[in-house]
Amino acid sequence: MSSTPLLLSRSRRQTVVQSDRLRRLTESALSPSNPEPKRYVVYSGYTPPSIPRVYRVPELLETILELSDWSSVMTISRTDRFGRRVAQFVIRNRIRDLVLPYVDHDQDKARAFIEMMDRLGAGITGSLVRRLFALNSDWMDAAIGAGYYRFFTCHDINILVPQGKFDLALEWMGSIGYDTVKESIASDPYSAAVKRFVRLAKSPSPIGDSTFRLASISECRAGIMHAVVASPVTGQANLVTSSRVYSFYPNTLNTPYVLRTDWPRIRLPRRASPPYVAIPSNANWKRCGYICPAAQRNTVGDKGVASFAYDPSRDVPTSRFEGTDYLLAEQVVIWRFSHNFRVRQNTRLALVDTHLTHAAPRP
């Protein structure tokens, strides 16, 4: 073992040299010739002990993300597999909390509702999904502080089901106390996408929740995505399924303003207090990118559709087109939201910050 003392002495000499260099750098930084000491001493030969990163502590990261807006949660989901798993867990909790008021605030019923959507291939759309994206955002917090309840109050839960699954969804909602109020045929602009829909109501419970709950079930003629893109306002073109969330106009998520279509003979639904402010022009958009309202878009290969898989444990069908989500490729839907293009500077080739994720690390 003649080499051992030599190696040990060499290690000691390197440690002493590094300590002396670090001491000289520190003294130089604090010398009178430098009236303002440096905040950081950079030394390439010294490696400080590793500091545990925040997203390596799931409990701490979960607490932070519970109070963060959607954009922040999506940013953490792109870091690595640890951040992505915590982000998926937080989004699952948020979706469950949004569903709870419509299922008697029962955790088991909320899980059964998600399972029902998974079996039927159903999804949730409308103001409830928009509220999911706006949770903890600056404008939502400002609305709550100012008492503008219409911006964060959802009147009903809108359920989309594929063709042939209408009766099954109606039966399940009836099992938790919802009664049919009115069944009718959809009007424009949903007439081409929705075969029929029914309005449901649930009487207040004598124990617990005393709110009158409303729901609607729409049977789609083809895929449920067709009904989503048929919305006359951008803020409603969102969807939540049992495993993924979608947004076709993600730039309208962090604002109370939504763009309404300018196609003739299409009227917005009349509501006493809609949870948004509909504007006729997108002149306030900084850039359009792939979500230009006057451009013809296609659900297959559309780069403006943002999505996030919050529950990768669920089995999903194989897509007909490689590299495309199966639900987007279920039916090839081509649409154009507006007739005119109103952004002052044409920036259709610019990319849009989706606040969701197209390509994220695999879990």
How wide is the angle at C-alpha 238 spanned by C-alphas 233 and 243, nearest 5°?
Answer: 170
- Taking CA atoms, 48 is separated from 15, 22, 44, 193, in Å, by 13, 12, 10, 61
What is the pLDDT averaged over residues 27-47? 44
Residues 6 or more apart from 134 whose CB is under 8 A from it? 70, 140, 152, 253, 254
What is the pLDDT averaged over residues 296-320? 87
What's the gap between Cα 362 and its chain centre? Answer: 17
What is the pLDDT averaged over residues 42-49? 42
Q: Is residue 45 pLDDT above 90, yes or no?
A: no
233 phi, psi to nearest 5 deg: -130, 145
Instruction: Please tell me whether residue 80 adopts helix, strand or coil conformation.
Output: coil
Which of the residue ranges 82-91, 124-133, 343-352 would you say has the lowest mean pLDDT?
343-352
Confidence of residue 19 (pLDDT cuts 50, 70, 90): low
- The mean predicted confidence, pLDDT, of the chain is 76
Q: Is residue 9 pLDDT above 80, yes or no?
A: no
Confidence of residue 230 (pLDDT cuts 50, 70, 90): confident
Query: What's the pLDDT at 123?
Result: 95
pTM of the model: 0.75
- For residues 309 and 275, which has the higher predicted lDDT (pLDDT)? 309
Residues 6 or more apart from 194 whose CB is under 8 A from it? 186, 218, 219, 220, 221, 227, 230
What is the pLDDT averaged over residues 276-282? 77
